[in-house]
Structure 1
Amino acid sequence: MELGLLYSGGKDSTLAALLLEDFYEVTLVTATFGVDDAWEHARRTADRLGFAFETVDLDPDVAERAVAQMVEDGYPRNGIQQVHLHALELVAGMSFDAVADGSRRDDRVPSVSRAQAQSLEDRHGIDYIVPLSGFGRGAVDALVDETLDVTVGPSEEIPKADYEAELRALLAREHGEDAVADVFPDHTQTYVNGLS
């Protein structure tokens, strides 16, 4: 069976791919607004890990609404959630039997409710799989430490092909760098270099 996994090149989506590869023919799919070539590092990581890789183009109107939502809210959660659901819809509409993401049990965003998952499955005739849904951050970090070679650093310095990087860039273009600092809290990101 073929599975499309939303892929950022970070530790969570990489670990999800490794957990699924014994059961599915996994293709790593990076969703992009075309803001820059941030998806290239995800492709390089996919190549190093031996996974097929594709990109899917997100609707620029979704980015515009997400950025407006983040500015209005003063935090990124609802904007990122909109983009994640849109990306899942696009990947579900591709030729996969199943779609997956790297969401963990303790993630606040993105998250997919049971009703949203069931709707996605019913409308597209696919299975939605969340292999890390039973794993908390501590368990994921322990598995990553044993399995992956990662670079860790501040979000603005670590290249990732996730929605956050592109939304940060769009927010800065439309509202200035101060808006990025106002909306996004400081946190670290990971970039997967390959297997340990």
Structure 2
Amino acid sequence: MELGLLYSGGKDSTLAALLLDDFYDVTLVTAHFGVTDDWKHARDTAEATGFDFETVELDRDTAISAVERMVEDGYPRNGIQQVHLYALETVAGMRFDAVADGTRRDDRVPTVSRAQAQSLEDRYDIDYIVPLSGFGRGAVDRLVTANLDVESGPSDEIRKADYEAELRAILTDEHGTDAVDDVFPAHEQTYVTGFLTRG
């Protein structure tokens, strides 16, 4: 069965791909808005890990709407959630039998409720798979340490192909650099450069 995995090039989505690889024909799908070329980082990771890779360009109006929501809220959660659900729907509308993402059990954002998952499956006649839903951060970190070569650093330095980089760029264009600091808390990002033990 063909599965499209929403992919950023980070540790969670790469670990999700590993867990799904024995059961599905996994294609890593990076959704972007065409604002930056950060999607190329995900492509490079896909090449390094041997997975098929595609991109899908999302409607920029969704990004603009998400940024305005973040400015209004003063934090990124609802805007990122909005973009994630839109990206899942976009990938679900492609040719895949199943879609997946790298969300973990203890993620605060993005999340997909049971009702949202069921709606996605019913409307697109696909399966929605969340391979890390039973894994907490500690378990994910131990598996990543044992299997993946990872670079990490502050979110404004590590460039992977998640929504945040493009949303930051739009936020800067629309509201200035101070708005980015006001909306996004400092946190660490990861970028996978390959496998440690996989042949």
RMSD of equivalent CA atoms: 0.4
One-letter amino acid matched to 1:15: L
Aligned residues: 196
One-letter amino acid matched to 1:35: V
Distance in 1 between residues matched to 2:191 and 2:104, nearest whole Å? 17
Q: Which runs of 5+ in 1 are unaligned?
A: none
Distance in 2 between residues matched to 1:48 and 1:144, nearest whole Å? 15
Counterpart position of 1:84: 84
Distance in 1 between residues matched to 2:159 and 2:179, nearest whole Å? 20
Q: Which secondary structure state, in structure 1, belongs to the residue aligned with residue 182 of structure 2?
A: helix
Alignment pair present for 1:112 and 2:112: yes
Distance in 2 between residues matched to 1:37 and 1:61, nearest whole Å? 18
One-letter amino acid matched to 2:82: Q
Counterpart position of 2:15: 15
One-letter amino acid matched to 2:150: V
Counterpart position of 1:55: 55
Quote the offset at 1:126 in angstroms: 0.2
Alignment pair present for 1:124 and 2:149: no
Quote the offset at 1:107 in angstroms: 0.3
Q: Which secondary structure state, in structure 1, belongs to the residue aligned with residue 56 of structure 2?
A: strand
Q: What are the Cα deviations for residues 58-94 of structure 1, in whole angstroms up to 9, with x where unaligned?
A: 1111011100000000000000000000000000000
Alignment pair present for 1:39 and 2:39: yes
Counterpart position of 1:183: 183
Quote the offset at 1:144 in angstroms: 0.2
Q: Which secondary structure state, in structure 2, belongs to the residue aligned with residue 107 of structure 1?
A: coil
Q: Which runs of 5+ in 2 are unaligned?
A: none
Counterpart position of 2:70: 70
Distance in 1 between residues matched to 2:154 and 2:29, nearest whole Å? 24
Counterpart position of 1:100: 100
Counterpart position of 1:166: 166
Percent identical residues:
78
One-letter amino acid matched to 2:67: V
Q: What are the Cα deviations for residues 10-39 of structure 1, in whole angstroms up to 9, with x where unaligned?
A: 000000000000000000000000011100
Distance in 1 between residues matched to 2:45 and 2:68, nearest whole Å? 32
Distance in 1 between residues matched to 2:30 and 2:96, nearest whole Å? 14
Q: Which secondary structure state, in structure 2, belongs to the residue aligned with residue 150 of structure 1?
A: strand
Distance in 1 between residues matched to 2:138 and 2:179, nearest whole Å? 31
Distance in 2 between residues matched to 1:2 and 1:144, nearest whole Å? 25
Normalised by the length of structure 1, the TM-score is: 0.99
